[in-house]
Amino acid sequence: MHDKTLSELAAGLKQREFSSQELTRHFLDRIARHNETLNAFVTVTEEHAMAAAQAADARLSGGDGGPLTGIPLAQKDIFCTLGIKTSCGSKMLDNFPAPYDATVVAKLKDAGTVLLGKLNMDEFAMGSSNETSYYGTVKNPWRLDCVPGGSSGGSAAAVAAGLTPAATGTDTGGSIRQPAAFCGITGLKPTYGRVSRWGMIAFASSLDQGGPMARSAEDCALMLGAMAGFDEKDSTSVNQPVPDYTATLNQDLAGLKVGLPKEFFEGELDSGVAQALEQAIAEYKKMGVAFKEISLPNIGLSVPAYYVIAPSECSSNLARYDGVRYGYRCQDPKDLEDLYLRTRGEGFGAEVKRRILIGTYALSAGYYDAYYLKAQKIRRLIADDFKRALEEVDVLLGPTTPTPAFGIGEKTGDPIAMYLSDIFTIAVNLAGLPGMSLPVGFADGKPVGMQLIGNYFDEARLLNVAHRYQQATDWHRRLPEQFA
């Protein structure tokens, strides 16, 4: 059953080919068998899952329930879950059972889904490889000596290995799309404000956005339909109706205009990635899609702008972890200053400390105008580039990452090289646009992802473009041999 898509599992549940309890037990058994190898789950909620599955079966037997009723899935451990540890991959929150459900968690629970557990991630979502987690590195199911990407690496690895049919992720600078590419699954970062951030532990508040990670675009459409919507508890939530994302999946692509940003295909793009993209473009041309080269002249400034804005916001957001109210507290502090210093020094990992220091410096008196304000002006230029491009074409297409997954430990000693693995994804967050990654082949035996970028709140079009490609290919259906 782990090789089926969400829609196939939903159909099986509806036709009573299997029960939610049988389905949930199947995935719990796979987690028990494989998680020690992958390290994808931080917490497994077996008792909670079986109770939810029993309730879902009762709803389905009574003819009640929607398309996700009885479907097991897992949450990235950045979403607060009532009574269940929500660690954000950090020692700082290792002892924190959330007192409420995040809006995303509540919405998926209302849709009848079954929570299998909480997924490993880079600490406070700061990382591109899932090597900064307090709970250890997650392995890539396709190559166990390679990273799964980050920060949603646990989500991507769990879906790719069939430990869960779908998962949630969050994307601040590519943290859904990059691990989806590295692990050969489909991941969607919605428009900023499309999915509520309430109860999603903050990294960089103007960039963070939750989204679905699953095998296919159709699966992501089902999940996004349940996750999206206005939330009065979130001041960044946009009050806009949620369409039925599955209704337009099969629309004809003839006449669609797709832009190829020339900056995405220049420089050090891996030859295997380039070849896989060429084949995907050829497949789209068979469907009547027209391609046009476009330019995003300020895209090269996205990485430096991001690594001023994101750390600045993180230094502000993470000030709340002081050992006073909740989370980790140092032993036997001498006074209040000692409590703050030792709690934060012992509770945060190296990458989190690095970003707090950078952000605090960028926001300090005398440097705010030179760094943070200038980065925000560059952000506006980048957004304007996308605006002009999307007036000429319907969708942008390019690589998700410059290379396939890299080796564990390969970039840990060089933070700049690590940051550059997100070079194609960061600009989308700076502009607040929707973007997604889908598998389009392999390079050196490792998955390759293709990125689609759309206009604001145009997720339905992205899902349609991705779905039609997946109807013509089977890259999204392939499983790593060890986990087949």
pLDDT tens-digit readout, 7-56: 999 999 999 999 999 999 999 999 999 999 999 999 999 999 999 999 99
Residue 419 lies in a domain: no
Residue 268 lies in a domain: no
Residue 235 annotated among the catalytic residues of the structure: no
- How far is it, in rounded angstroms, from Cα 483 to Cα 27? 12
Query: Is it true that the peptide bond before 151 is cis, omega within 30 degrees of 0?
Result: yes
Q: How confident is the model at residue 419 (pLDDT cuts 50, 70, 90)?
A: confident
DSSP secondary structure code for residue 190 in this structure: P
Residue 56 lies in a domain: yes
Mean pLDDT value of segment 301-311: 95
Given a cut of 90, whether residue 421 has pLDDT beyond it is no
Cβ–Cβ < 8 Å for 393, 292: yes
Residue 401 lies in a domain: no
- How far is it, in rounded angstroms, from Cα 149 to Cα 156? 8
* pLDDT, mean over the chain: 96
Q: What is the pLDDT of residue 64?
A: 86
Candidates 19, 175, 315, 421; catalytic one: 175
Residues 6+ away with beta carbon under 8 Å from 33: none
Candidates 19, 151, 237, 312; catalytic one: 151
Identify the CATH number of the domain in which residue 230 sits: 3.90.1300.10
Residue 76 annotated among the catalytic residues of the structure: yes
- How far is it, in rounded angstroms, from Cα 414 to Cα 432? 28
Residue 242 lies in a domain: yes
Q: What is the pLDDT of residue 155?
A: 98
pTM above the 0.75 mark? Answer: yes
pLDDT, tens digit (0-9, with 9 covering 90-100), for 338-383? 999 999 999 999 999 999 999 999 999 888 888 999 999 999 999 9
Q: What is the pLDDT of residue 433?
A: 98
Give long-range contacts, CB 8 A cutoff, 24+ apart: 478-481: 478/184, 478/439, 479/2, 479/3, 479/160, 479/161, 479/162, 480/141, 480/142, 480/160, 480/161
- How far is it, in rounded angstroms, from Cα 213 to Cα 461? 17
Q: What is the pLDDT of residue 63?
A: 85
Residue 85 annotated among the catalytic residues of the structure: no
Mean pLDDT value of segment 307-324: 95
* Residues of the domain holding 86: 6-254+435-483
| pLDDT greater at residue 449 or residue 370 | 449
Given a cut of 90, whether residue 65 has pLDDT beyond it is no
Say if strands 186-189 and 210-214 run parallel, antiparallel, or are unpaired: antiparallel
Residue 302 lies in a domain: no
Number of domains in the chain: 1
Residue 296 lies in a domain: no
Candidates 19, 76, 312, 446; catalytic one: 76
Q: How confident is the model at residue 125 (pLDDT cuts 50, 70, 90)?
A: very high
